[in-house]
Structure 1
């Protein structure tokens, strides 16, 4: 490919990625291409991109190789965006209330009646909660985001989970040790909370479920 053609492809990839709000890390996970390689493609450090890479990236960006290579106009993308909006939200999941990403919240259900939120059909969750606060921002979980919880999923070391601690609800990354559980925020201004197993008789500590997906409001 000529360098000017390659630059046009890189610009289309960058614009499309930013349009979808997709980070390099997210695109890397979807394509299997390393984050550093994606950055070098976009900045032009790598002068040539194989066609198979263009095909993989186009699929991750919900577009086509033809569009990225300039063989399709923006109208095709507008139609594809409309298709995404129509098809992504396929099922309803109960919204049970709010969960703290900052100061703990006491009441599990702050809603007068059960509400439901739309979710991707691939999300397997029992309920959703609205995140409140900034304690998980480094995990890209912001104030107002929805978190989807699977109460039956096994929570492993390092997973993000919904926690009830003395009836206060919070979202934390959890680590297990021989004699304790450590609850970690994804914001350095919130210190870790260590719960020793010998304290269990004195407090109410429950893992309500594993966080399996997050969704930002449109």
Structure 2
């Protein structure tokens, strides 16, 4: 049975991932633009976050929405690192940070590499990855201009996942994807400035509108 809507489970998971990331409640609120009182209500299991807030937290923590919604057994909780003398060295896998992604050029052929990021070997084993430096303000306050998003290459995503999408041959954009029978809607977080944009199935084919990958993690240099 799904634990969707279970305030206690949500509170435990948010606390667990905050602890794993080593972030205080105050900093967490500042990074995501949440009211301190709202987060307190979530952590005290008095209120349950809306789906868009769950998506924002999942992107921030680099986990799936299910990881926030479903209960975790002890074996699924983030493991405590061993003592420094016993710390295993997990050599990371380097992936390119791209300044832009445009139509007609396979990602592996893009030469505009502006930096490099490392991802764990365990993550790298799940698919092909690239990183993209974000331009623009449409995903604020979750993702800011200059942030780097880690992207797993895939042609489809789940409903409301954050994805890299190429529209009409222009540069790729970062948006949440709402899937509908008649088409898809690309949704910005900063909806006060950037309105959601719907594309019909015909437009998806003709323009085209193409999903390049799913955003699995966001990185910010403070």
**What TM-score does the superposition give when structure 1 sets the normalisation length?**
0.55
2:176 is paired with a residue whose SS is strand
Higher mean alpha-carbon deviation, 197-206 vs 128-137, is at 197-206
Following superposition, the deviation at residue 145 of structure 1 comes to 0.9
On the 8 A contact 1:161/1:171 being kept in 2, the answer is yes
In the alignment, what sits opposite 1:159?
A: 161
Match of 1:186 among 189, 192, 195: 189
Q: CA RMSD for the aligned pairs?
A: 4.4
Higher relative contact order, chain-length normalized (CA < 8 Å, sep 6+): 2
Task: Tell me if 1:37 matches 2:40.
Answer: no
On the 8 A contact 1:123/1:212 being kept in 2, the answer is no
Match of 1:96 among 75, 95, 98: 98
In the alignment, what sits opposite 2:134?
A: 131
On the 8 A contact 1:17/1:23 being kept in 2, the answer is no
In the alignment, what sits opposite 1:202?
A: 206
In the alignment, what sits opposite 1:176?
A: 179
Larger Rg: 1
- The 1:123/1:213 distance shift into structure 2, 3 A limit, reads farther
- The count of residues paired between Structure 1 and Structure 2 equals 156
Following superposition, the deviation at residue 98 of structure 1 comes to 3.1
- The 1:144/1:24 distance shift into structure 2, 3 A limit, reads closer
In the alignment, what sits opposite 2:53?
A: none
Match of 1:18 among 18, 21, 24: 24
Matches within 5 A, 1:78-89: none
Following superposition, the deviation at residue 122 of structure 1 comes to 4.8
**What TM-score does the superposition give when structure 2 sets the normalisation length?**
0.54
C-alpha separation in 2, matches of 1:22 and 1:161: 23
Q: Which runs of at least 4 in structure 1 moved beyond 2 Å after TM superposition?
A: 16-26, 34-39, 86-91, 96-99, 105-116, 118-125, 198-202
Unaligned runs of 5+ in 2: 1-18, 33-40, 47-73
2:189 is paired with a residue whose SS is coil
